Structure 1
Amino acid sequence: MTTIIDTTESDACVLLGWRAPYDTAAMLGFLRLRAIPGMERVEEGTYTRTLRLMQDGQEHCGWLSVAFDEMRAQARVTISNSLAGVLPTLINRVRDAFDLDADPLAIDAVLHSAFPSGAGLRVPGTVDGFELAVRAVLGQQITVAAARTLGARLVAAFGQPITTPLAGMDRLFPTPAALIAASGDELGRLGITRQRQAALKALAEAVLEGGLVLSPGVDVAATCARLRALPGIGDWTAQYIALRALRWPDAFPAGDVALQKALGVSSAQAATQAAQGWRPWRGYAVLRAWQSLH
């Protein structure tokens, strides 16, 4: 039986600061292009989403919104009352998701000569490492718009319904257990290829069993090696997950075609060579390179 989660109680609000400069328009633009209908939206300078957090064996479900006040260098985070019990954890995840703790001066000191207009760019993270990894798999070798379409279908088919006071926000992202239980035919009807199905199921099993932790603070090299050992996950996907979910500032998906185009090279080896001088901030260089294409 489907459980409907009600989160219509009163809400909480916290203010989180950052060190300027911060290109909030670029951050919101990145998230807007990837927002999955039913669980995410970006409008009027505010990012809103539904969310499930597990803590001490308990499930906490609700929603949050993040609005930016550039004059005060603050993010105003509104959180449903149902998430009040995990507020400290949620604050840390929001800080990671929006890269609020970055030191832009230290980063720009290394990258300015190559990317002089990118001082305010931050690396978009995530509040849920498993979700980000699934979305990375769905996005392999297809456009951002196509990946968003697959994500929307996956959420509609396997995401748990949730009741919120926010119009159109009525789904949670699927759990690892839900993806493991999904049949190949069900996933295939969504347009997910067999190769991606195998990757999603292996990823979900590794996370559910506890052998794969996708959050900041883990051993990045070991985690990337575990990811690459899964079927259908190569270095690009592992590096992308390291960049956004593990919060590794030196992550570098050298095989990314858009990155190579921005750098004016035609191979992963050439991209890696071009980026040697950007360590330990190659992840921020990736965002600046992508932004330069627009």
Structure 2
Amino acid sequence: MNTHVSLPVDEPLDAASMLGSLALHAIPGVEVTDRAAGTYRRLLPTVAGPRPVTVTITAHAVLVEVDDQGVEDAGVGAVDADRLDDTDPAAPADLLRFVRRWLDLDADLAAVRTVLGNDSVIGPLLEARPGLRIIGYPDGFEAAVMTVLGQQVSLAACRTFGGRVAEAWGSDGPGGLRLFPDPERLAALTPDELQQGIRVTGARARTVQALAEACADGLQIAPENDHTDIRRRLLALPGIGPWTADYLAVRALGDRNAFTPGDLVLRRALGGISAKDAAARAESWSPYRAYALCHLWASDPFLAALPVAERRV
């Protein structure tokens, strides 16, 4: 029997933008998005093992369905909707908090409006999309690998590369979904094996391998960890520069004041200014620079076709 929970959210919630973003970044085999049905499905980790979770996003609430069918046969217990042990990630209360943080459902949009609403650039964008949230990643290592694979290519190509990683080195999970490989699995591979399997450049394969080694050695890209240390360790890796570290601060670490001043789409949305000028322009957007960034990204009609790149200026 599946567990169904409705997560109330403070309106407005821009369901279309959220589903669109999830679809644009979905890894084949790992994530399934049905924009017409308003659903997103993937495996989420718990101490009892991975569980298929379907999220239905509406303008008024986010519905979470935890699929117990098949997991008991694999030796994993079913979710007990009455269990509220906050120390156990398999408990609904903790799993639901995880979903709320991942989808930014507890965003203080009133505070965001107070800071950004009167800005000449961001104010009109916020007025057009008042319910825009910052979507995170369920797993920091997966986020980092996908960000590296997205350098200098389109989002479509990035998804293709991610699908190859999951197919070659991931594993089958319940519900017909794939598990993205863990750092130890990719760290055990050579750059040549990664290059041949993913079909990326040698430099990109070396970056993925170095990232996997770092994460296998203890680097945990997670919101609760030291953001300064994570940034330092990321920047020490070959092929990872400020843009990647900044982007991961926004998407994987949940830093609502993080910003990517060198981002090409951002700078174009601001009239083609330099990274230095973009950083200066964003000073007044603190402590919600990440929301301003996401509004600028969402305002670009060509974003889906543009490279997600390591943009050094």
TM range, smaller chain = 0.7 to 0.9
Distance 2:187 2:106 in 1: 35
8 Å Cα contact 2:191-2:209 kept in structure 1: no
8 Å Cα contact 1:23-1:122 kept in structure 2: yes
1:109-167 alpha-carbon deviations (Å, 9 max, x no partner): 22223222232111010111111111111111221111111111111111111241xxx
The alignment's TM-score, normalised by the length of structure 1, stands at: 0.87
Distance 1:175 1:125 in 2: 18
1:46 and 2:27 matched: no
Q: How many residues align?
A: 274
Distance 1:252 1:201 in 2: 26
Aligned-residue offset at 1:246: 0.7
Which residues of structure 2 form unaligned runs of 5+? Answer: 72-77, 80-89, 302-313
Distance 2:223 2:94 in 1: 12
1:225-280 alpha-carbon deviations (Å, 9 max, x no partner): 22111221111111111101110001111111111111113421121111111001
1:199 and 2:207 matched: yes
For 1:1-294, list aligned pairs within 5 A: 10-43=1-34, 44-53=37-46, 55=47, 60-70=49-59, 73-81=60-68, 82=71, 84=79, 85-112=90-117, 113=119, 114-115=121-122, 116=124, 117-164=128-175, 169-189=176-196, 190-210=198-218, 212-294=219-301
Letter in 2 for 1:74: A
1:27-52 alpha-carbon deviations (Å, 9 max, x no partner): 11011111112111111111111234
Letter in 1 for 2:62: A
The ranges of structure 1 where at least 4 consecutive aligned residues each deviate by more than 3 angstroms after the TM superposition are 86-89
Letter in 2 for 1:246: L
Distance 1:89 1:178 in 2: 27
Distance 2:19 2:7 in 1: 16
SS for the counterpart of 2:261 is: coil
Which residues of structure 1 form unaligned runs of 5+? Answer: 1-9
8 Å Cα contact 1:96-1:127 kept in structure 2: no
Distance 1:208 1:127 in 2: 18
Percent of aligned pairs sharing the same letter = 41
| CA RMSD in angstroms, aligned pairs only | 1.7
8 Å Cα contact 2:166-2:178 kept in structure 1: yes
8 Å Cα contact 1:265-1:271 kept in structure 2: no
8 Å Cα contact 1:63-1:79 kept in structure 2: yes
Distance 2:158 2:109 in 1: 30
* Residues 48 and 142 of structure 1, relative CA distance in 2, 3 Å threshold: same
SS for the counterpart of 1:30 is: helix
Distance 1:186 1:220 in 2: 31
Distance 2:24 2:42 in 1: 14
Distance 2:174 2:283 in 1: 48
Aligned-residue offset at 1:221: 2.2
Distance 1:209 1:134 in 2: 16
